[in-house]
């Protein structure tokens, strides 16, 4: 009887040891930090026609691009301005609400020039509230994973974009204060563009210099209804004005232009990682027409 008891105790000890050895320790139990989270985002601008406008091959494809965002299933959507066309629609935003509006709770907007078709951008702030930053200003910042993100207002005639403007002084301080190694800014007007309709935006020159000096790696913009990827200094700029309204043509390629697509609506998918990012421009047929991987500037 005594021997059986001893053997029972030995078996219990061995069983407990086996369970202990087989159990995987969490990273923090091993003294390791959890792996940094990768964040998937989608971005686009120049989006929605008035709800009664006719959809055809060349215009009003906001519902098709919204379907792309559903497929991407991002954690955040960056909106690059000119969200809703036709001033009469701004009070209710029907076209936008019926398409990209379904992502409102995960969206971060930047204000475009068409939002000012109503004085002071009234409909824009009525729709977005505090998500669009302080009313009448339109700049704000936040963190996503290992990235710092800044939304800026590139409508310089409305808010000012010079070195001594309130916005640029805020931007300088915001970027300096961030400890994130990777940084992204988004706005409506592109600093550089090969588009035939608008081209470069000289008015944001001072703002661009602050972005570059502040360690920004990526700038997203719209305004030109096309897709273009450019590199200027340490900044890679993506123009994604392909959210649905219509498409524009290119002029002569600007210095630094790396990719140009003017025949497809679509959205930009990005994966924000620790120390870098991946991108894909996904066209309305679901094809990735431009893609790549890049590290952030040390």
CATH number at residue 71: 3.60.21.10
Residue 178 within any structural domain of the chain: yes
SS3 101: helix
**What's the pLDDT tens digit per position in 108-126?**
999 999 999 988 999 999 9
> Which pLDDT does position 88 carry in this prediction?
66
Q: What number of CA atoms fall less than 13 Å from residue 44's CA on the CB side? A: 38
The stretch 78-92 carries a mean pLDDT of: 84
Checking if the pLDDT of 236 tops 70, the result is yes
Checking if the pLDDT of 131 tops 90, the result is yes
Query: Pick the residue with more confidence: 91 or 69?
Result: 69
Confidence of residue 86 (pLDDT cuts 50, 70, 90): confident
The pTM score is: 0.88
Residue 10 within any structural domain of the chain: no
> Which pLDDT does position 31 carry in this prediction?
53
CB atoms within 10 A of CB 288: 12
> Which pLDDT does position 298 carry in this prediction?
81
- In the 8-state DSSP scheme, what is residue 202? G
> Which pLDDT does position 97 carry in this prediction?
93
Residue 174 within any structural domain of the chain: yes
Token pair listed for 247: 């498409």
CB atoms within 10 A of CB 112: 30
> Which pLDDT does position 228 carry in this prediction?
98
* Mean pLDDT, the chain, integer: 89
> Which pLDDT does position 32 carry in this prediction?
58
Tell me how many degrees the CA angle 241-247-249 measures, rounded to the nearest 5.
100
> Which pLDDT does position 2 carry in this prediction?
47
Residue 30 within any structural domain of the chain: no
> Which pLDDT does position 61 carry in this prediction?
94
The stretch 132-144 carries a mean pLDDT of: 97
- The answer to whether the beta carbons of residues 220 and 277 sit under 8 Å apart is no
> Which pLDDT does position 297 carry in this prediction?
87
Residue 240 within any structural domain of the chain: yes
Checking if the pLDDT of 13 tops 50, the result is no
Residue 107 within any structural domain of the chain: yes
Which among 137, 89, 82 has a CA at the least distance from the CA of 115?
82
Checking if the pLDDT of 18 tops 60, the result is no
Residue 88 structural domain: 35-295
Beta-bridged to residue 195, according to DSSP, are 250
> Which pLDDT does position 17 carry in this prediction?
39
- CA–CA separation, 233 and 66 (whole Å): 33
- CA–CA separation, 120 and 125 (whole Å): 9
Residue 262 within any structural domain of the chain: yes
Token pair listed for 297: 């500037």
> Which pLDDT does position 205 carry in this prediction?
97
Least confident segment among 14-28, 62-76, 131-145, 267-281:
14-28
Least confident segment among 8-12, 211-215, 255-259:
8-12
How many domains does the chain fold into? 1
Residue 6 within any structural domain of the chain: no
């Amino acid at each position: 009887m005594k021997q059986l008891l001893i053997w029972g105790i030995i078996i219990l000890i061995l069983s407990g040891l086996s369970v202990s050895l087989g159990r995987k320790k969490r990273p923090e139990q091993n003294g390791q930090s959890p792996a940094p989270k990768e964040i998937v985002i989608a971005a686009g601008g120049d989006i929605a026609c008035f709800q009664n406008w006719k959809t055809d091959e060349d215009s009003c494809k906001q519902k098709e691009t919204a379907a792309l965002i559903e497929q991407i299933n991002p954690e955040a959507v960056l909106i690059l301005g000119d969200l809703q066309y036709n001033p009469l629609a701004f009070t209710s935003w029907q076209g936008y609400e019926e398409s990209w509006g379904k992502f409102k709770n995960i969206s971060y907007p930047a204000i475009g020039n068409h939002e000012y078709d109503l004085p002071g951008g009234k409909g824009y702030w009525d729709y977005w509230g505090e998500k669009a930053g302080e009313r009448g200003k339109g700049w704000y910042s936040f963190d996503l994973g290992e990235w710092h993100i800044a939304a800026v207002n590139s409508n310089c005639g409305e808010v000012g974009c010079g070195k001594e403007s309130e916005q640029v002084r805020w931007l300088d301080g915001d970027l300096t204060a961030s400890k994130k190694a990777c940084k992204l800014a988004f706005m409506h007007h592109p600093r550089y563009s090969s588009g035939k309709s608008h081209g470069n935006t000289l008015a944001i020159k001072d703002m661009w210099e602050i972005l570059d000096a502040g360690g920004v790696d990526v700038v997203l913009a719209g305004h030109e209804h096309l897709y273009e990827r450019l590199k200027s200094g340490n900044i890679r700029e993506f123009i994604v004005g392909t959210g649905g309204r219509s498409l524009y043509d290119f002029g002569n390629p600007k210095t630094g232009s790396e990719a140009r697509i003017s025949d497809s609506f679509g959205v930009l998918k990005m994966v924000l990682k620790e120390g870098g990012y991946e991108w894909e421009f996904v066209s309305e047929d679901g094809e990735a027409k431009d893609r790549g991987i890049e590290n952030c500037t040390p």
